[in-house]
Structure 1
């Protein structure tokens, strides 16, 4: 078997951190229509996201995500807190994080990149545009970009 045959053999593991059920539904719909095999895991707040990533509590069997889609406006621990903790952790910092939020505020964009987000996407209000945005994102991140492999830490 050549390398190209095994390249995307396993489904992509995606973690969506989103508290708005409507946006969760639209994101699931967009990925369902896409061409990339994926397992979309959803948590609704920052504390759950960090537990999932650290494989703590209810998430001890959680897979390591290939990519995290992160809303900034979350109850309790917000998206910036999650981003900061994730990027401060040597075991997790290589996981790409895409901020997917309704905020168009310049300071949120700047702060996200300062905290080492890999991309910042503003959610369109229109559901069809939202799905198109997620599909374009999916195509770019899983067809064009080479994602880092999981590295075993000593």
Structure 2
């Protein structure tokens, strides 16, 4: 299976942010990757732990969600032997140094502030996709 056919899981409670991410992926990369959308951490955790589901090759994770937020979900993913190899990119509006440091300490692979303008957002998504699916080598079990 080539890298572009592997799924991207987007975990974000904001419909507008999800739709913008989806549009940016489709616009910038002629997206061949299937997208999995989860609107909160609990839904994502359930989906990741369902043995019938294929695991995503990449997770784009918002931090600030109700219930099981991105920080707690990140900790669970990175402490799970089966899931810890999945790259997790934090996509959030927070630029707080405590959030950045905490997420990297818990195993986040990248931390990106969501750009405000559409052009910057689209460019950031395009570069993320190119990096993770054209340059980085992903583990075979993902």
TM-score interval for Structure 1 and Structure 2 normalised by the shorter chain: over 0.9
Count of aligned pairs: 141
Q: Deviations over 1:62-94 (max 9, x none)?
A: 321001100000111110100000111101101
Q: 27, 30, 46: which is aligned to 2:24?
A: 30
Q: TM-score, length-normalised on structure 2?
A: 0.93
Unmatched tracts of structure 1, length 5 or more: 1-5
Alpha-carbon distance, 1:136 to partner: 0.8
Kept in 2, the 8 Å contact 1:123–1:130? The answer is: yes
Unmatched tracts of structure 2, length 5 or more: none
Relative CO higher for 1 or 2, CA cutoff 8 Å, sep ≥ 6?
2
Tell me which stretches of 4 or more aligned residues in structure 1 moved more than 3 Å: none
Q: TM-score, length-normalised on structure 1?
A: 0.86
1:64 aligned partner: 55
Kept in 2, the 8 Å contact 1:13–1:67? The answer is: yes
The CA RMSD over aligned residues, in Å, is: 1.5
Distance 1:65 1:81 in 2: 19
Q: 72, 77, 83: which is aligned to 1:86?
A: 77
Alpha-carbon distance, 1:35 to partner: 3.7
Distance 1:143 1:36 in 2: 12
Are 1:135 and 2:126 matched, yes or no? yes
Pick the structure with greater CA Rg. 1
Q: Deviations over 1:26-64 (max 9, x none)?
A: 111011121441001100101011011111xxxx64321
